[in-house]
Amino acid sequence: MNEVRMPGPAVVVGIDGSRSAVRAALWAVDEAMHRELPLRLVHVTPQPEFPEFSDERSPAGTAVRHAFRQIGATGKPVKVEAEIRHGRVADLLLEAARNAVMLCVGAIGISGSDTRKVGSTASEILGSARCPVAVIRGDHPPPGAASAVVVEIDETHESAACLELAAHEARLRAAPLRVLLRHRPIAHSGQRIATLTRVDRGVAAVHLERRLAPLRMRHPDLDIRALDPVGGTLDYLERHGHAVQLVVVGAGDAAHVRELVGPNGCGVLGRTHCSVLITARQRLL
C-alpha cells in the first residue's frame, strides 16, 4: 500500500490572482525566512484545469507565476513552493495548512469589491485553522516607518500566547509593540466607556507592567509600551489606526475576533489598512 505523505512545515499563502493575495505572499516572505521554512503558495480552483502550471492559458498558473515574480523581485533568498488544488477553496486551504506554522491570506479575494470588508474565504478559515492565520490588508509600511504591532491582553493563558506572537512579529518587522490593557467596555449613549473603576484600572495597569517586565528583559531593543484605551481596541484603532500595521488577537475569543473582522471591525480596519493575525488555540511557534 502506498503511504500518503503530508507536506512538511511551511508558511502557507492562499493565492487567487488578486493584489490582496500577492500582498499576503510578500508579507509572508520574512516569516518564512525567519523560520527557515519554505513559503508555499496554494491556489485552489473549483474545477480541474488542463494544462495547469506550465500553460499560460491557465488562470491558476498565471496567478502562481505572478506571485513568484513579485516574490523574486524582493531579492530575498526564500524558498518558494507552489501547489494547485481543485475543490472548495476554504476546505483545501485548511487542508494545505494542517502542518503549516502560519496561514496567510489576503483580506479581499479577486472577486471582492468592498475593500472595507474581509472576504468570505478569509472569514471562513479564521475559526477553523490549526495554526495562526494572518489576514493581510494594505501595502507594507515603507522602510523606517513606525507603524506598530498592537495586541490586547488580559489575565488569560491565551493572552500570554498573543503577547509572545505579537512580540515576535514586532521584532521581525522592526516595529514598536503597543500592548493594550483589555477590559470590556460597555456602550452608553453611543459611547464606549470603561467597566472598571479608576482604582481597578490602576491596579490592572500595574499587573500589566509586571507581565511585560520579562519581555522587556529578553528583548531590550524592542520598543514596548503599555496603553489603557478606555473604549477598547476598536476605539483605539479608530483614533490611531493610521500608525498600526498589525493587530494580534486570540482565536479562543470568538466574539472579539468577530468584533475585529466582522462588519464593524472591518470598517475600521479597512480605513486604516491594518492587517490582523489570529493566534492558534495551540501555538506552533
Q: Give the tens place of pLDDT for each residue, 116-136.
A: 445 567 777 877 888 999 999
Fold of 10-136: Rossmann fold (3.40.50)
The CATH 3.40.50.12370 domain(s) of the chain lie at: 148-278
Q: Which pLDDT does position 190 carry in this prediction?
A: 52
198-201, long-range: CB < 8 A, 24+ apart? 201/228
Q: Which pLDDT does position 277 carry in this prediction?
A: 93
Q: Which residues of 138-152 are buried (b: 16+ CB within 10 A; e: fewer)?
A: bebbeeeeebbbbbb
Q: Which pLDDT does position 21 carry in this prediction?
A: 92
Q: Which pLDDT does position 5 carry in this prediction?
A: 59
What is the mean predicted confidence (pLDDT) over 12-39? Answer: 94
Q: Give the tens place of pLDDT for each residue, 202-254.
A: 677 788 888 899 999 999 999 999 988 777 788 888 888 889 999 998 887 77
Residue of 231 and 160 predicted with greater confidence: 160
pLDDT at 284 over 60: no
| 27 pLDDT tier (thresholds 50, 70, 90) | very high
Half-sphere exposure in the Cβ direction for 231 (13 Å, CA):
12
Residue of 74 and 115 predicted with greater confidence: 74
Average pLDDT over all residues of the chain: 80
Pick the range with the lowest mean pLDDT from 27-36, 69-78, 108-117, 145-154: 108-117
List, as one string, the DSSP characters of the chain.
-PPPPPP-S-EEEE--S-HHHHHHHHHHHHHHHHHT--EEEEEEESS--SS-TT-TT-HHHHHHHHHHHHHHHTT----EEEEEEES-HHHHHHHHTTT-SEEEEESS-TT---TTS--HHHHHHHTT-SS-EEEE-SPPPPTT--PEEEEEE-SSHHHHHHHHHHHHHHHHTT--EEEEEP---EEETTEEE-SS-HHHHHHHHHHHHHHHHHHHHH-TTS-EEEE--TTHHHHHHHHHGGGEEEEEEETT-HHHHHHHHSHHHHHHHHHHT-EEEEEPSS---
Identify the CATH class of 148-278. Answer: alpha beta
| 67 pLDDT tier (thresholds 50, 70, 90) | very high
Q: Give the tens place of pLDDT for each residue, 43-65.
A: 998 766 554 444 555 788 889 99
The CATH 3.40.50.620 domain(s) of the chain lie at: 10-136
pTM listed for this prediction = 0.83
